[in-house]
Amino acid sequence: MWTVRLVHAGGTVAICIEREFHREMAVGVERLKCEIGYNPVRFTQMMAEHRGHEAARQLLRSNATSDRFATLWEANRLEMSIEAAALLPWYQSLFLDEHRAVARKRLLEQNFAVDEFLKIQTNPPPRWTCDH
């Protein structure tokens, strides 16, 4: 189980994790614009309306993959997908097991090396977690 540091007195772990997930998604959007020329407008709108974690949950509840996922697959950048982020151990508390199962299934269907991705991403973990 991954734990996180509280970022300020009076904060809660859940809020910190939600904030970090949202921040990571926002940074990812900017990276996609710069690195592959893709602007995920609908996802950005969803983030503004619902915050990053809830936007991700909505996409994972959908029966079909998003246009964003398809674009990332075509660009060989699935490591920047919502599906990949949902599997990171420090975000586990934001998603139901069903969400994480959908995320893993979608990635594996595209021959994405999920276990290798997780091994690389978790060594070392982000500074805001206590497990580094």
Domain limits, the chain: 13-121
Q: What is the pLDDT of residue 76?
A: 96
User: For tokens 């407008």, what's the residue?
Assistant: 41
Average pLDDT, the chain: 86
Distances (CA, A) of 30 to 5, 56, 93: 26, 17, 25
Place 5 in a pLDDT band, splitting at 50, 70 and 90: very low
pLDDT at 3 over 80: no
pLDDT at 132 over 50: no
Confidence (pTM)? 0.84
62 phi and psi angles, rounded to 5 deg = -70, 145
User: For tokens 């710069």, what's the residue?
Assistant: 34
50 phi and psi angles, rounded to 5 deg = -125, -5
- % of the chain at pLDDT higher than 70: 86
pLDDT at 85 over 50: yes
Beta-carbon contacts of 123 under 8 Å, excluding residues fewer than 6 positions away, are: none
Place 2 in a pLDDT band, splitting at 50, 70 and 90: very low
Integer Cα distance of 91 and 17 in angstroms: 7
pLDDT at 4 over 80: no
